[in-house]
Structure 1
C-alpha cells in the first residue's frame, strides 16, 4: 500500500446538521444542500487554468451574483465611499457617517478564491468594515487572473499599504482579510517586512487561504462537508500563481517567517474546508512568539453562516473587540 492510500476508511453516510448550533445557522446550512444531501456548490466545476474564456465566464457569473447581494444591502450601509488609485492599485476608501476613530485605518482584502469578489462587492465590503469599526476602511480592489496573475495582486496590496502608511501611523493601522484576502494580507506583511516597512498594529484573518498547496488535513476531512466550499480550489490556485511555485511564502504565506508579526486574530469553523489553514497558521504564529488567538465556531462552513445568525454576530463582536484592543480603545 502506498503512502497515498494509507489512512482511515470512512463508510458512506449522511452527516446531519447538529442541534448544537442556532436554528438560524442550521437553516443556513440546509439552504445550501440538495435533497440528495450534496452541497449545491459541488455542482460547479472550475475551468482548467489555461481556459481563459471559461474563467471569464466564471467571473461574469460571480459578478452577477455579487451585484444581487450588494443590491440587497442597499439602505443598510451608512458610510460614504470614494474610489482612488495608488499606482496600479484600485482602493475603495469608505468613511463612516460618524467617524469615531479619525486617525485609525482598516486595510481590507476581499475574498473570492483569488479570482472574483472585486468591483461593487469590494466597495460594499469596505463600507461594511467602516460601519463596523467606526474607522476609515481602505478596501483593496486588487487585480486578478486570468488577466492579471501573480504577482499583480500582491503588488497592488503593497501599493495600498504604502498609501495607508503615508496617512496613518503603523500603530493605528489594522490589516484584515477573508479567505483569499487572508492570503494577500499575510503575504503582504511578509513582503513589507522583507522591504523594511513597519508592520501594523494587528492582523485579522477570517478563514484565511494561507496554503495554496492544500496540504492540510481539513482539505480531506471536510471535503463535501463544507457546504459553502465543498472541494479543492487547486485550479484557482494554479491560475493565480501563473506557473510560480505554490509553496513560496508570497503564495502560501503559512510557510513564511512570521517572526515580528503583530497580534493576530484567526477564525474558522469545524466544517470549514480551510480549518487546517487557520489551525496551522495559529501554531506557526505561536511558535514565532506572536500573540495570536484562534476562534473556531461549531459547524460553521467557510465564510460563516452567511447571515445575521447568533454565531455570525458573535464573530463580529469578537472581531470588533480585537480591533478596539489593538487600536488601544479598550
Structure 2
C-alpha cells in the first residue's frame, strides 16, 4: 500500500501571528525549564488554570466518571447521542495538561461529529510512569465496551502524547483479543520514543514551542519501573489489522517526523490511513481553534472522518 498524504496549503495571518507568539513567549519556557519532578508538578497547574481560557460551548454537559485509580468525563454536546463515542486521550508530554485544557477541543470534535466523547484523565508524571498511563487508557476503552458501547461505534482519538496512547490502546486491545475500535484519530502524534532518528530532523529544534529534543531525558522518568527491553513505541509494533487511521500535523513542527514515520509504517502494514499536512501550523493547532481559523477546518476534517468511519444512517438522516 502506498502512503496517503494530503497537503493543505495556505496560512492565515492569525495563524502566523499565533505561531510567532508561541515561539517568542512559550518556547523558552518549554525548551529551557529543567526536567525535574518539582518542575513537572508545577506543570500540573496548567490544567487547573485552563478553564479561564478554554471552555466548551454552552449547552455542553460534562459528567465525571470515577474509574479504577483514575477518572474521566463524558462530554455530551447538544446534538449528540447518536450512538457514536469518541474516546479522547489528551496530550501534554505525559506530564502536563488534562481534562480542562482539552475540554474545548473535545467538545468541538464531539459536537461536529454527532458523538458523545469520553475524555480520560489518565495518570501521568511525576507520580506515574508511562506503563500506568498506557494501562489507564486501555482500561478506559475496556470500560466503554463493558458499558455496552459497540466497538464499531468507538473512535479512539488523541493529540501528541495522547496520539501515542491512542495507537497503543488499539494495538494492545487487539493483542488481548478485544474487538478493535472503528478508527483512530491522531493529532500531531508522538509515536517514536527513540530520539536518535528524530535528532537530525529539520524541525526538531526549530519547532514553535514543543521541545521533543528533550525526549531522551524525559524517557528516564517515563520508563521508570518498566521491564528493560525494546521501547514501547507504537511505530515499532505490529500494526497489521489496525482500523482506519487519520493523522493531522503541521508542516514545520517537530512531530511531523513521527506523523510521516507512522504513515510509512501503516502503509507497509496495509492499514487504511490518511495524513494531512497543514502548511506552517503549530503543534496540535486544532486545540487553538479559538484563535487559529485553520483549527476549525481541521476539526471539521476530524468530524468528517468520524462520521464516515462510524456510519449511523438513521441518526445522520435525522
Query: Where on the TM-score scale, by shorter chain, does this alignment land: which range?
Result: 0.7 to 0.9
Deviation at 1:185, TM superposition (A): 1.0
Which position in structure 1 is the counterpart of 2:74? 93
| 1:146 alignment partner, one of 123, 126, 141 | 126
Larger mean CA deviation between 122-131 and 252-261 belongs to 122-131
Map 1:32-47 onto structure 2 (within 5 A). 32-34=22-24, 39-41=27-29, 43-47=31-35
Deviation at 1:230, TM superposition (A): 4.0
* 1:192 and 1:198 in contact (8 A); partners too: yes
What is the CA–CA distance in structure 2 between the aligned matches of 1:75 and 1:121, rounded to whole Å? 10
TM-score normalised by structure 1 residue count:
0.83
Cα distance in 2, alignment partners of residues 277 and 256 from structure 1: 14
CA deviation digits over 1:70-95, x for unaligned, max 9?
A: 22234735311111123223121112
User: Segments of 4+ in structure 1 off by > 6 A?
Assistant: none
Cα 1:171–1:142 change in 2 (3 A) is same
User: 1:39-76 CA distances to partner (integer Å, 9 max, x unpaired)?
Assistant: 434553332xxxxxx3243332x333333332223473
**Structure 1 unmatched ranges of 5 or more:** 1-18, 48-53
Do the aligned residues in 2 keep the contact of 1:92 with 1:122 (CA within 8 Å)?
no
Q: State how 1:314-329 maps to structure 2 within 5 Å.
A: 314-329=297-312
Match of 1:235 among 210, 217, 222: 217
Matched, 1:223 2:204: yes
Shift of 1:219: 5.8
Residue by residue over 1:89-144, the C-alpha shift from the partner in whole angstroms, topping out at 9 and shown as x without a partner, is 3121112233251x111100000001111253355554444333331111111011
Distance 1:157 1:292 in 2: 22
Inter-partner Cα distance in structure 1 for 2:85 and 2:37: 34
d(CA) in 2 for partners of 1:75, 1:309: 16
TM-score (norm 2): 0.85
* 2:45 is the alignment partner of 1:55: no
Structure with greater helix share of residues: 2
Change (3 A) 1:86 1:33: closer
* 1:246 CA displacement: 8.4
Structure 2: which 5+ runs fail to align? 1-8
CA distance in structure 1 between the partners assigned to 2:274 and 2:302 by the alignment: 11
Distance 2:64 2:17 in 1: 37
- Greater relative contact order: 1 or 2 (C-alpha under 8 angstroms, separation 6 or more)? 2
Call closer, same or farther: CA 1:152–1:230 in 2, change over 3 Å: closer
RMSD of aligned alpha carbons? 2.6
Q: Which has the larger radius of gyration?
A: 1
What displacement does 1:157 show? 1.1
C-alpha distance in 1, partners of 2:236/2:298? Answer: 27
